[in-house]
Amino acid sequence: MTNDPIKGVYELGHALHLLDADHHGFARSDIERVECFWTFGDLDTSSAGFLLRLRDGRRAYLDFLHWHAFEQDEDFRIEIEFLPYDQRYPTFASADEPMGGWSFDTSHLKKQLTS
């Protein structure tokens, strides 16, 4: 699979901008790396999920949703789920999720963490 230098960059950038240590339990500087991610978009929304390894050893799943309201204010939401040490992936409501499946090619996202 060829590395897509754009996939996930938009969503991760917005999510990192919204991330608040007091509210979410960690800050951008606490993220060691993105382990894997998924993205999905249509005319009305962009969504993504990022499985993050934190510098203190914890793992967090960051779920991102962006509504593209036509001629209205945009709206963003992120939710954080800390995973137990023995859980590899977050639990989804459907076996068909995440939409599009996981991508493990995350090297292009590292720049988002340091910029």
> pLDDT by residue (tens digit) across 53-77?
999 999 999 999 887 666 566 678 8
Ranges of each domain in the chain: 9-114
Confidence of residue 41 (pLDDT cuts 50, 70, 90): confident
Cis check for the bond before 98: say yes or no (omega within 30 of 0).
yes
pTM: 0.85
Locate the DSSP E strands across the chain: 31-41, 45-54, 59-67, 75-83
Largest distance between two CA atoms of the chain:
45
Confidence of residue 94 (pLDDT cuts 50, 70, 90): low
Confidence of residue 1 (pLDDT cuts 50, 70, 90): very low
Q: Find out whether 83 and 61 touch, Cβ atoms under 8 Å.
A: yes
